Structure 1
């Protein structure tokens, strides 16, 4: 059997395969060049960018948990200007499209970032992290308030013609409400989900294990939550959904596609096995061949829930 067609379209951006790297888990790609052929990836989403460099939170800021990990890195990054000068030239040498994950503390910061990246041909798309606190609204996360979420996406959409993906927070009552809002404001695709808020405690010291007290839970522990939210979201929006959350192998990835994801992102698995993404691509090919499916798009949203 010939190699199955793995190409997908996530709202105007065509990928050779549906495997993307999750922001914050793959650096700026160069960190992984000795572990794999980076050109085999479907797309590369870089570490979250802010207008100015950010130091992040004090340590300890990563804690391993049962079936996952908690992180409170605090979105440490080099800032958009250093990214353009020092990181983007390497990404330009690669075949997979580079997608910049952006975040801000105000709506204006999101808009300014989108405007700064708009003129860069090497950046093929933006992923908007709306899980950040709005400092002008008492710290409420943009992604937990429909009005604020709509405002951010609308401003970014007005500043860019690039592919626009919005990363949804799971820390909400109804993710479908935020999904519809993001679509209405101009998103081309949605990535579902970001990390789940959690904490870990050291019984001996009676202190939290993270200096920040709480952090974002990722890894296999959140996969059932992510699967559910991808399935829910895919049923209510007309734009592609990119599944993320606890994907460790090809079986996990294919399950997300079956519940409605057009593509997937690999995150925590990169820390466990740095060539997890390529292993997932190979596993997808093997499964599709075994099941005589010649195009991955035939699997999208095929979950059977009735009799």
Structure 2
């Protein structure tokens, strides 16, 4: 491998949580004679596979009950800190059920959910929120009769009294929320409501943000704003983001790791670049 190939190889394999870079072996030799000899170098990257992954969230479900009555088996997912993990799949394959199992709105029929090494199987949704998990559900679910300010303040619930204020970066990411603090949530556009729902989750100061189809029914300009916000949360805030999405381009541009689900099972794990492969895209076509 040439030096130019090292960084792409490390970046690609680094997307797989079980793979770690162990060593770089460099070999060099001269080609040619005398003053015209050229030094040629080759690099061999040595990767290893670890038996256990220490992730922010680890899901190991022997069976996952789906809303449609289908039971999937062998659902295993790991979310790493400061990474964007995207779960893709057709409608009805269990993506939302998996997310709700993580945040405590659904119970796994068997298996475990762990957060920062602590099992959450017996923890209620409220306790999971207090531990640092925030959820933005599909459909946004803002309170239509409450003002934007009051909607944001509902994120105070799991916080101690001294922590109950809206972080400045919420308004930096979504300036429209500051401009509309007194407007009712039900009077906002769909895109503005989505920004409000994300802002409300961020008020909780989570270490894991779970987003269920944040681009659904949203205009392209606001999709770009949401994408920039998610990158900021990963790159600057060091937050883990778990994203359920059907918009391939959005996922490909953001994700560090991609999981694809089908009939309640994880059928593919890889890097975002895998979405260009025809055999992977077939798993997502209707």
TM-score scaled by structure 1?
Answer: 0.36
Q: Which has the higher strand share?
A: 2
In terms of Rg, which structure is larger? Answer: 2
